[in-house]
Amino acid sequence: MLQRNEVLVSAERLRDNLDSPKLKLVDASWFMPGTDRNAKSEWFTKRIPGAVYFDFDGEIYDKSSSLPHMLPSEEQFEKAVGALGISIDDHIVVYDTAGIFSAPRVWWMFKVMGHDHVALLDGGMPAWEAIGGEIVKDAPTSPEPEVYQANLDREGVIDANALLSGIEAGTLNVVDVRPADRFSGSVAEPRPGVRSGHMPGAKNLPFPSLTENGKFKSKEDLTELLLPVLSDDLPNVSSCGSGVTACTFALAAEWALGRKVTVYDGSWSEWGSHTALPVVID
């Protein structure tokens, strides 16, 4: 039986618990804009048994925001997740087809909506296939809807105004997980109209350094990477390009150190777009 406090689950452990009655598998695959792949279509023809598809970029997001895949309201999240056949007491295991890329974003969404019983499949679909895990290729059936009750953890997410106040007051520690050249401002941002650089006082730890061969590095290795950039005294906030890989950092900190990290949902796609927000170029 999977435990409530598990953050990371191996493919072998998932296989051994695949028949657990409260287990719900969630395919959280997503591809960067411009990629010639459709994650939902791929899930439709290839998935772990029982997995539903969680579309955080095209369906389960704040449709009133001009920013990409922002966290939806509690009400919208409840409706969408209930329609996927998930209840608040289910044990969710999320995965993606890349190994570790977009699934931490959905792990964080469930966590910030009050769902403690959620874990990530370490290595995702590639790890599952590597152990000969069962793959379903038939068309999926519609899940039986459930009533889902969300409870937003307001300390798990932060907006630009609160972040700016914390930076100016020196009461927050910000870790930006974009690549070093984007953090320094030596290269242009991929999104049109977004400035280069970083927030004043932010630290940089590029998110690819947290993983190796599609899986998270060991707790010992992660500890060596995380401790120099995390604060023991101030709340820690992670940021990235659009709020996806910032969640990878948050998950790594929780798994390796038991440390909570707040995610800046708008991330650099928001901060870099507003000229009133301060930017530093090294």
User: What separation in angstroms does the CA of 239 have from each of 85, 149, 261, 277?
Assistant: 31, 27, 10, 15
Instruction: Write the burial class of residue 87 (CB in 10 Å: 0-12 exposed, 13-18 middle, 19+ buried).
Output: middle
Q: Which of 70, 237, 240, 250 is catalytic?
A: 240
Active site residue 247: no
- In DSSP terms, which residues pair with 94 in a beta bridge? 26, 120
- Whether residue 52 contacts residue 114, with contact meaning beta carbons closer than 8 Å, is answered with no
- Distance from C-alpha of 88 to C-alpha of 151, rounded to nearest angstrom: 10
Q: What positions carry a catalytic annotation?
A: 240
